[in-house]
Amino acid sequence: MTASLIGFAVVLLLVLLRVPIAFAMGMVGVVGFALETSVRGSLSMSARLITDTSQDYGLSVVPLFVAMGLFVNKSGISREMYQISNAFLGHFRGGIAMATVAACGGFAAVCGSSLATAATMSRVAMPEMRKFGYSDGLSTASIAAGGTLGILIPPSVVLVIYGLLTETSIGKLFIAGVLPGILGILFYLLAVRVTIARDPGAGPAGPRATWSERLTAVKGVWATLLLFFLVIGGLYGALDFWPLHLTFSPTEAAGMGAGGAFLIALARRGLNFAGLREVLTETATTTASLFSVLIGAWIFSNFVNIAGLPEALLAAVQSAGLSPWAVMGMIILIYIALGCVFESMSMLLLTVPIFFPLVTSLGFDPVWFGIVVVVVTEISLITPPVGLNVFVLKNVIGDVPTATIFRGVTPFWIMDILRLLLLLLVPGIALFLPSLL
């Protein structure tokens, strides 16, 4: 156990020294495994992991979902999601901010990336909110917080990574994220209302759309809805009827999603040759980065396991007489503390190999734990000092101080804490839909 804790501390130190998380975990894992076994055994284990990862058909789901999100971004779907949300909510006080949150949720359903959701919606929603006199704090907060939904509402690349790390069903993880994602949207809408109650001038009411304008907005999102139901419906057998009989594996669903998003982008003339090259290049770069991190995490996980950390943690918990829920509470507090200084993916990959064996040995459901981890990761995206969505917005918008954005998101991450407590107290929120499969 001592060797594992030293290794974990070294990884944290290397990350704080700005060594990429993939190399930090990989180097510590290789050295630690060599000290526990032999240099030859460590090199053999690392080589086998690299080879197996590069040849694993199941991992092709990652680049396909990444490409799907990038094609969706090129197709202009984000503007249509915002228009339909604004048509139904914009006439309320704070309604344009609420429309932004709802649009982020809809866009996340076909994008799967929090950073892409926040960056894209900032270009669409920020000018509109400034036009009607919204405060910069509420405007940027609604975009930053709404963007976090991209890693929970399926399809989610983060849930894919968690599923690959823990060998948990990606299909069950996706469907488990639906109700917590909807709950997140509702809680964020409540955060907007709380902000308006404290400062009525922060979000004036916009003009009321006519029913003709609303119907026009609804017609504009048919392609989005079709793509979402094609991917999710095929994954869960909802399209398994005559004459379709379509049932997809996660990889096939990702392929259909990427192909469908590509066709939508072409049909809307949002994609030319230069744009296609940009999407393919970014897909390859992102995939290579994720695969590097996955390989590093698996190497580090093998070192942690052979050093006996999971068994030692379980023995320590049993000897201390702590209840499973007390242990879970401590793990959540560790995640929240790490989220203040680590970006979300690094935190996930660094901690899941350590905590997952302990959590499952205590009898907790791995699907439920995955959703809880992602919700905590969402909180880290908007909490200081390393709220990644906040800094993405700062780079895109530029003229809003970072402190203003952090002050604006305070009601939103408080709502995230309440949602997290609700998921802990009522696990059925995450497990109800998977139980129906």
pLDDT per position in the chain (437 positions), as tens?
688 888 888 988 887 788 888 888 899 999 999 999 999 999 999 999 888 888 888 788 888 888 888 888 787 777 788 888 888 888 888 899 999 998 888 887 777 677 778 877 888 888 888 888 899 999 999 998 988 887 888 878 888 889 888 889 888 998 999 999 999 999 999 999 999 999 888 888 888 888 888 888 887 677 777 888 888 788 777 776 666 667 888 888 888 888 888 988 888 887 888 889 998 998 898 888 888 888 888 898 889 888 887 778 878 887 888 888 998 988 998 888 777 767 677 778 888 888 898 899 889 999 999 999 999 888 888 887 777 788 878 877 878 888 888 899 999 999 999 999 999 999 999 999 998 87
Residue 304 belongs to a domain:
no
Cis peptide before 353 (omega within 30 of 0): no
Cα torsion 405, 189, 227, 378: sign: positive
Q: Yes or no: say if 381 and 149 are a contact pair by the CB < 8 Å rule.
A: no
Residue 46 belongs to a domain:
no
Distance CA 389, CA 351 (A): 21
Global pTM reads 0.84
Residue 28 belongs to a domain:
no
**Radius of gyration for the chain, computed over Cα atoms and rounded to the nearest angstrom:** 22
Cα torsion 155, 380, 315, 33: sign: positive
Q: What is the reported pLDDT for 215?
A: 84
Distance CA 384, CA 139 (A): 18
Residue 51 belongs to a domain:
no
Q: State which residues form the domain around 110.
A: 58-295+309-435
> Using alpha carbons only, what angle is made at residue 111 by residues 405 and 76, rounded to the nearest 5 degrees?
85
Residue 425 belongs to a domain:
yes
Residue 37 belongs to a domain:
no
Question: How many other CB atoms sit within 10 Å of the CB of residue 295?
Answer: 20
CA 1 to chain centre: 31
User: What total of structural domains would you count in the chain?
Assistant: 1
> Using alpha carbons only, what angle is made at residue 354 by residues 318 and 417, rounded to the nearest 5 degrees?
90
Tokens of 66: 């990444």
Residue 34 belongs to a domain:
no
Whole-number Cα distances in Å, 370 to 79, 174, 336, 339, 436: 31, 10, 15, 16, 18
Residue 117 belongs to a domain:
yes
Whole-number Cα distances in Å, 242 to 225, 239, 255: 21, 9, 22
Q: What is the reported pLDDT for 291?
A: 86
Question: How many other CB atoms sit within 10 Å of the CB of residue 303?
Answer: 28
Tokens of 172: 């069950």
Q: Yes or no: say if 426 and 187 are a contact pair by the CB < 8 Å rule.
A: no
